[in-house]
Amino acid sequence: MNNSDQLKHNVAKEAVKYVKDGMKLGLGSGSTMYFFMKELGERVSNGLKVIGIPTSNKTAEWAKEFNVPLADFSQIQELDLAIDGADEVDPNLQLIKGGGGALLREKVVAAAAKEFLVIADESKVVENLGKFPLPIEVIPFGWEVTANKITALGCELALRKVNDQIYITDNGNYILDCKFGRIQDPEKLNRELQSIVGIVENGLFINIASKVLISNPEQVKVMEKGQ
């Protein structure tokens, strides 16, 4: 395992300790979550009873691989705990997410949870959000018009492509990766983006994270609001 994977694995091992018997879980997406799913599967094989709602088709595949039971979201009103990775975390626990393209379901699931636990390695911690281009999910219909309105807020953007093909989210939408540079006021930008028609959701997770676990080569630290 390389050093980066080791840090992801370490933080996942710590996060799985927050899972208690009988919990309804939100299961985030991304490579850090892969290690969490592996660890969770280990606990399930030792008798832990949980059910999970996956935030992406990939996470659903991992749940199958590691025998983590999944539930029907329509039968669940509230989740006990959602766990997910992040692309950037600031000192106020505001996040940029969506590097893996799953931000919409991730936000829906996080918002349905009593607690939202974020797991990341120290490379994700920043003083100000914005070095990582902000992913914004837009509907394909008229996406160029939507893109122009986003650009007017002061960013350069690119339609996400993979192998020269437009990237399509699990919800059938497009992703615009938006370079705002240092975001001075993430709450304000979030509000502005929410008012643009054509945007389905943006990757700013404002006042959603309850706690963030950060791994460095020595330890896993807990970040909480107001620290």
Alpha-helical segments (H) within 80-121: 103-111
* 31 belongs to the binding site for ligand 5RP (CB under 6 A): yes
Those residues whose C-beta lies under 8 Å from the C-beta of residue 41, and which sit 6 or more positions away, are: 65, 66, 67, 68
* 99 belongs to the binding site for ligand 5RP (CB under 6 A): yes
Piece of 102-110, 137-145, 164-172, 209-217 that binds ligand 5RP (CB under 6 A): 102-110
* 28 belongs to the binding site for ligand 5RP (CB under 6 A): yes
Classify 117 as helix, strand or coil: strand
Query: Which of 57, 186, 168, 53 shows the shortest CA–CA distance to 110?
Result: 53
Q: Give the nearest distance from C-beta 206 to ligand 5RP in angstroms.
A: 15
Max CA-CA distance within the chain?
A: 53
- Closer of 172 and 226 to ligand 5RP (Cβ): 172
- Closer of 82 and 102 to ligand 5RP (Cβ): 102
Please say whether the beta carbons of 19 and 43 come within 8 A: yes
Rounded to 10 degrees, the C-alpha dihedral 164/205/94/128 comes to: 30
Binding residue (CB under 6 A) for ligand 5RP from 19, 50, 102, 109: 102
Cα(153)–Cα(171) distance, integer angstroms:
25
Type and span of the H or E element at 204: strand 204-205
Assess whether 78 carries a catalytic annotation. Answer: no
Q: Give the nearest distance from C-beta 96 to ligand 5RP in angstroms.
A: 8
Alpha-helical segments (H) within 46-86: 57-65
Please say whether the beta carbons of 118 and 55 come within 8 A: no
* 98 belongs to the binding site for ligand 5RP (CB under 6 A): yes
- Closer of 96 and 148 to ligand 5RP (Cβ): 96
Piece of 24-32, 138-146, 157-165, 190-198 that binds ligand 5RP (CB under 6 A): 24-32
The answer to whether the annotation marks 29 as part of a ligand binding site is yes
- Closer of 30 and 130 to ligand 5RP (Cβ): 30
Q: Which of 39, 88, 106, 137 is catalytic?
A: 106
Pairing of strands 95-96, 204-205: antiparallel
- Closer of 39 and 87 to ligand 5RP (Cβ): 87
Q: Which residues make up the interface to ligand 5RP (CB under 6 A)?
A: 28-32, 84-87, 97-103, 106
Residue ranges for the known binding site are: 29-32, 84-87, 97-100, 124
> Which residues are designated catalytic?
106
Residue ranges for the known binding site for substrate are: 29-32, 84-87, 97-100, 124
